[in-house]
Amino acid sequence: MTAPRAAAIWRHRLAIEGEAAGHFGWLAGRFAAAGDHDLAARAQQAAADERDHAARCQAVIAALGGDPTPPAAAPLPALGPTARPAADRALYAAVAVGCVTESLSCALLLALRAVATHPQVVATLDAIARDEIAHARLGWAALARAAARADVGWLGAHVDAMRAAAVADEVAAVAGDDALAELGVLPRAEAAAVVSATWATVIVPGLARHGVIAGAASAPAARAAAGR
C-alpha cells in the first residue's frame, strides 16, 4: 500500500507545480512591463520549467498506480498587498515564490534525492531540483535589483505570511509516512528539520542582506511543520 500513499503526495506536488507556473508567468509579464527584460525571460523559462515538472509528476503518479489526471485549474491566488503599486506586488511575488518557496523546495528536494531509490522518482527529483535552484536565484536577483533602487524594508511585515504559505505548500508536497522515502516522500520530522535549517541559514541571512529584515527572525517551528 505504500505506492498509493506516495502517489497521493505526488498529486499534491502536481497541483503546486501548476500554480507555480501561473505565478512565474504573471511575473514574466510584470517584469517585461517594468523593462526588466532579462528577469522577464528568466521568469518565462521558469513557468515553462514548472509545466514540465507537472508533466513529470504525472508520469511518477502513473508509475505508482495513481490517477495522473491534473486537478481542475483553480483561480491563481493574487500575491502581495493589493494596496501597493504593481511593481511592489511583483517584488512581493518574486520574494515569496523565488526567495522563500523555491529556496525551501531546493533544500527539500535535495534531501529527498539523498534517500529516494525508485528510478523514475530519482530522475524526476534530479530534473526538478536543478530547475528550482535557478528559480530561487531568479527571486534573489529580483530582490537584489529592487533593493539597489529603493528601500525594500516594507516587505519585512509580510515575511511571516510568506513563510507560512511556503511551509504549508512545500512540506505537504514532499512529506508523509516514514516508510515512503524511496518513493520521494520525506518523513514529516525530517522535512520540518530541513525547513528550519534552510530558513535560518539561507533565507533569513539573504533577506537581511538586502534590507528586508533587520536581523535574525524566528524559524518555522518544527512541531508546526511536522504536524502538516
Summarised one tens digit per residue, pLDDT across range 24-45 is: 999 999 999 999 999 999 999 9
Number of domains in the chain: 1
The verdict on residue 31 lying in a domain is yes
Summarised one tens digit per residue, pLDDT across range 61-76 is: 999 999 999 888 778 8
Distances (CA, A) of 63 to 2, 17, 29, 59, 118: 13, 18, 36, 6, 10
The verdict on residue 13 lying in a domain is yes
Cα–Cα dist 167/163, whole Å? 6
Residues with pLDDT less than 70, the chain: 1, 215-228
The verdict on residue 220 lying in a domain is yes
The verdict on residue 7 lying in a domain is yes
Summarised one tens digit per residue, pLDDT across range 76-88 is: 888 888 889 989 9
Instruction: Estimate the crossing angle of helix 188-198 against helix 159-174, to 10 degrees.
Output: 150
Neighbours of 202 (CB within 10 A): 18
The verdict on residue 80 lying in a domain is no
The verdict on residue 78 lying in a domain is no
The pLDDT assigned to 218 comes to 45
The verdict on residue 76 lying in a domain is no
The verdict on residue 75 lying in a domain is no
CATH code for position 110: 1.20.1260
Q: Looking at the chain, which runs of residues are DSSP E strands?
A: 175-176, 186-187
- Domain range spanning residue 27? 2-68+86-226
